[in-house]
Chains A and B, each alone.
Chain A
């Protein structure tokens, strides 16, 4: 990561965010418990920076993204965009802010309206925000298509006429239309085949250079994340367990969970012998285990791990780990 990025101000600042979903039971729909999907996450994304968010299904990474977009109501904590807290913003400020915050979804088949043509899909937001008139639509659309490597013969076609990779390019064109500062990519390349995935990953990286975009790149695929991101945050059961420079997280992970996660990836040319195979399943986020949430599957857990919760601690510059045994392991 360049020094310019390190010193630039926080674009997005999340502080102790909790997003819980009530579990209701009985005739009066009494709230009996909560699914603690996101349970006390703090992180920052700076201008032009790409932060990877990894973790297994159910760890809360998508809920975190949905909370940032205001799609899931938050329990406590705060999300601030350019210093302004999102949940206290007035509606017109929120509207202006949304221009700077866009999203690319995983499934290019369900995230594009099948009844809209490409030109309508990618210029809708420009019209809604009053940035262009109807007359400039085509010029704007052609420019966007050009940015994502699609020809202008695509303008008046419908999403079903395109392959998965092309559809994802349309999704990218829609996301960059308003020249946002931050794009949330929620498993944006996970549904694509490896050769097409590489094309879209390269496209996202080119656009980052061109428009100085910041990404929150959510993925379960650590090898893709490593290629794209400056920093990586690892999530387990609603909490961050490790965050640090991408190369350090992959080549020298410190948290036992991150280590298991990295070693679990089958790689060409690497023998699976030294693999850390975790036992058991991820516990339910409705009743997370006490103390360190990973202790039920951790080979290094001590009695103390079952008792005290772990907060992120510095282990190196810009590298934090939530594990009480990090120094001995």
Chain B
């Protein structure tokens, strides 16, 4: 598979009143052409910051991208001139945000915002842009699209607003769509509609980076999954492989703690303890205090990301040379 986007060794820190906060550290991941990659993890693990870095959307200050490369085709997104970046944003790479109310302008009509986006990237007359906008509103299932062009975002329901966002993200036929918790703010029946829509609208050659904390959504949408914990990638694997045979103890515990609709009821499996503070990560493995498989080496050294065949795990148990059987 041809790689479309490759993030290598990305580190992002924020300067805060309490000190330097490590949001993303040494993150590497890649997305193939036409592939859907899920990026999963709990709040504060750095998944959104990773995604925002792709389009250089990290506010600076307080944020700074300390190191790393983000290759999109043959270009490094972190060093290209602003003019080129503006051309890529919205056209080649588009974003669907979690909260469409904050991503859409409250003061402009929906139609105006769609037409503006088209005309920004393509030299077409306004009437053509308007026709295309109406067509896309219809495609994403908005009733009376021509009338809805005249609506302000606040006049639409949450599900409808998210459809407008999706129309905006897809109408320029981007190569990569970044969807940051696109359905988290929606009710489950509306979430089902929106997920179906994203699946139906995404062209075969379009890549999708789907960020979510919901393993169910990951299961339904993705081909490959990258799991983040405490600012780092802890595991990457193909979807079914990840759920059938998680390599990292965090992934395993996370999968087990999801409440399910079938099977035994009652006590849920938990992960004891808490995520360490990003203001002062301890040395060694960041998951070791909560890990039931931790052994001495986990405290002494930070495990590297052991990679082979597009599969990776940041755990000494995946070290081919780890001879001492732990526990």
Q: Enumerate chain A interface residues (CB-CB to B < 8 A).
A: 56-57, 163, 165-166, 193-199, 201-202, 205, 220-224, 226-227, 246-247, 250-251, 260-270, 272, 275, 277-279, 281
Residues of A within 8 A of B255 (CB): 268
Interface size on B, residues (CB 8 A): 42
Option from A195, A205, A222, A247 in Cβ contact (under 8 Å) with B257: A195
- How far is B259's CA from A164's CA once the two chains are assembled, in angstroms? 19
Interface contacts beyond A195-B254, A220-B188, A227-B268: sample of 19 additional A-B pairs, CB < 8 Å, sorted by A: A57-B158, A163-B274, A193-B42, A194-B254, A194-B257, A195-B42, A195-B253, A195-B271, A222-B261, A223-B261, A246-B265, A262-B261, A264-B192, A266-B192, A266-B220, A268-B255, A272-B220, A278-B189, A281-B190
Option from A193, A198, A266, A281 in Cβ contact (under 8 Å) with B160: A281
| Nearest residue, chain A, Cβ from B242 | A268
- How far is B219's CA from A264's CA once the two chains are assembled, in angstroms? 14
- Kindly provide the distance from the CB of B286 to the nearest chain A CB, expressed in whole angstroms: 14
Option from B157, B191, B195, B260 in Cβ contact (under 8 Å) with A267: B260
| Nearest residue, chain A, Cβ from B221 | A266
Q: Enumerate chain B interface residues (CB-CB to A < 8 A).
A: 42-43, 157-160, 187-193, 195-196, 213-220, 243, 253-255, 257-262, 265-272, 274
- How far is B260's CA from A170's CA once the two chains are assembled, in angstroms? 27
- How far is B187's CA from A140's CA once the two chains are assembled, in angstroms? 41
Which of A199, A224, A275 has the most C-beta atoms of chain B within 10 angstroms of its own C-beta?
A: A199
- CB pair A268–B270 under 8 Å, yes or no, is no
- How far is B219's CA from A228's CA once the two chains are assembled, in angstroms? 24
Which of B187, B213, B260 has the most C-beta atoms of chain A within 10 angstroms of its own C-beta?
A: B187
- How far is B143's CA from A281's CA once the two chains are assembled, in angstroms? 11
Residues of A within 8 A of B266 (CB): 205, 227
- CB pair A198–B195 under 8 Å, yes or no, is no
- CB pair A56–B187 under 8 Å, yes or no, is yes
Known A-B contacts A195-B254, A195-B271, A281-B159; the reply to A265 vs B193 at CB < 8 A is: no
- Kindly provide the distance from the CB of B173 to the nearest chain A CB, expressed in whole angstroms: 25
- CB pair A202–B267 under 8 Å, yes or no, is yes
Option from B192, B219, B262, B270 in Cβ contact (under 8 Å) with A198: B270
Known A-B contacts A56-B187, A268-B215; the reply to A277 vs B274 at CB < 8 A is: no
- CB pair A194–B42 under 8 Å, yes or no, is yes
| Nearest residue, chain B, Cβ from A56 | B187
- Kindly provide the distance from the CB of A264 to the nearest chain B CB, expressed in whole angstroms: 4
- CB pair B189–A198 under 8 Å, yes or no, is no
Option from A205, A251, A275 in Cβ contact (under 8 Å) with B192: A275
Q: What are 6 A-B pairs at a CB distance below 8 A?
A: A196-B274, A266-B219, A268-B218, A269-B219, A278-B192, A281-B159
Residues of A within 8 A of B220 (CB): 266, 272
